[in-house]
Amino acid sequence: MNIAGIGVVGTTGRGVASLEAALNRGWTAPGLVDIRGSAGERLPVYAVPPEVLSDKTVLAKARRADRFTRMSVLAAWDALQDSGLAASVDRTRLGVIVATALGPHATTFGFLDGILDFGDAAVSPTAFSHSVHNAAASYIAMTLDVRGPTLTLTHFDFAFHEAVSLARTWLAANRCDAVLVGAVDELGSVMQFVCGRMLRPAADGRIKPFDFSVKPESVPGEGSVFFMLTRDNAGAAYGRLGAVSRDHSAVRSTGQSVQLLDACGLAKNETAYRTALMPGTLTAGYAPLFGSVMTGSAFHAAIAALMLKRQYRYAVPVAENPHGLDLCLETGAAVVDQVFCTRLDCAGRRGTLHLSAVR
């Protein structure tokens, strides 16, 4: 599949340029939020600034939508615009796949507030309809007039991988000519509380992707990344998004390759990443820029696509390297033929996205 366009909404801002600027800038400290319901505990987070979600033009049909949906709509919109195909793509042949681990949970809890505060018979119909997982996909379709298939899927570890794989299947089966495929997850106040209880927040605010620790530290994040995928080279043509592998042995590294590791502190134990390394391959990981996100593979795929299009490498934002890996430590022009984005779940199961340059 060809990556024709990318849309990014994250703590670094909106748009590919904002992501690229963050990559060039390097690590910046996360914000700190008070954990609701705790005795003065604070949590480092990479949150999306409210002003990033305030585009009244794009969000005209999503005025009542929540943050989860707004992040999704803006990223999907930007991916289509970035592709340069917005005017030409047949909307009946355009599909949408939204991957999420947790869905619009803040709205779900808002709906529960309604039940607890006003009773079962007096809840908000708007809160209910927006708490349904596919509300974001629906708003994307309404905003972009997408008339092809739309699908929202969940998985806690490999939601984005499965979404990419499904997009590939749709294109191969000729269900669509193009697919907007993306990932979104938000960090509401309840989830901040959950993260504070269940994760190990990084005291210094730094995710350390190459520690491979038995007790990894995290900085919870949020955001949305969308890709406009086409069967053939078209649009901005960042690169090819190829096979989605769940088996390391199937991945072949040739030419100048980079492996991006999704290690971000969400797994209880990240030691298995050591066995996932591709020997002799330059290694990087950029979770310290966008935070610990269950669908963070999408951010890494966007960074990989930038590397391939620009023929550029970005220095890792946090370079602590206790295992002596061959890390990407310099920013600058370089030949990049392939990028492998690897994620492991708590059980050590592996998912790898394979991206390659357009030649």
Partner 1 sequence: MIERIVITGMGVISAAGLNVPETLDAFAAGRRNVGAVPSGVSPLDFPVFAVRDLPAQTESSPSSRTFLLACHALDEALTGAKLGRDLSALRVGVCMGTTVASQLNDMGFYTAFRQGGDVPMEPVEHFLKSNLADAIAREVRAAGPCVTVVNACSSSADAVGVAADWIRAGLCDLAIAGGADELNRIPICGFGSLSVFSKELCRPYDRDRQGLNLGEGAGLLILESEASARRRGVATSVFVAGYGAACDAHHLTAPRPDGSGLETALRTSLAEAGIQPQDVAFVNAHGTATRDNDKVEGSVLARVFGPDIKVLSTKGFTGHTLGAAGALEAAFSVMALLSGWIPASPGFVNRDDEIPIGVVRERTTVTGRYAVSTSLAFGGNNAALVLGRDG
Q: Quick check: 293 and 264 in contact, CB under 8 A?
A: yes
d(CA 85, CA 290): 28
**And the tokens for 146?**
């997408």
Q: Which of 33, 86, 132, 278 lies at the binding interface for partner 1 (CB under 8 A)? A: 132
Q: Which is nearer to partner 1, 17 or 118 (CB)?
A: 118
In the complex, the smallest distance separating the C-beta of residue 341 from partner 1, rounded to whole angstroms, is 18
d(CA 27, CA 12): 11
Q: Which of 173, 203, 214, 333 lies at the binding interface for partner 1 (CB under 8 A)? A: 173
**And the tokens for 295?**
């669908």
DSSP-derived secondary structure letter, 223: E
Stretch that binds partner 1, among 46-54, 95-103, 230-238, 320-328 (CB under 8 A): 95-103
Q: Which is nearer to partner 1, 82 or 162 (CB)?
A: 162
Stretch that binds partner 1, among 48-56, 169-177, 199-207, 327-335 (CB under 8 A): 169-177
Size of the site for partner 1 (CB under 8 A): 64
Q: Map residues 183-222 to x or -, x wherever contact with partner 1 holds by CB under 8 A.
A: -------x--xx--xx------------------------
Q: Quick check: 216 and 269 in contact, CB under 8 A?
A: yes
DSSP-derived secondary structure letter, 173: T
Q: Quick check: 263 and 210 in contact, CB under 8 A?
A: yes
**And the tokens for 99?**
């991957």
Q: Which is nearer to partner 1, 88 or 92 (CB)?
A: 92
Stretch that binds partner 1, among 3-11, 130-138, 218-226, 255-263 (CB under 8 A): 130-138
Q: What is the amino acid identity at position 269? A: N
Question: Which are the contacts of 172, defined by CB distance < 8 A and separation ≥ 6?
Answer: none
d(CA 4, CA 191): 33
What residue ranges bind partner 1 (CB under 8 A)?
Answer: 36-37, 91-92, 96, 102-103, 105, 108-109, 111-116, 120-125, 128-135, 137-139, 141-142, 144-156, 158, 162, 165-166, 168-170, 172-173, 175, 190, 193-194, 197-198, 246
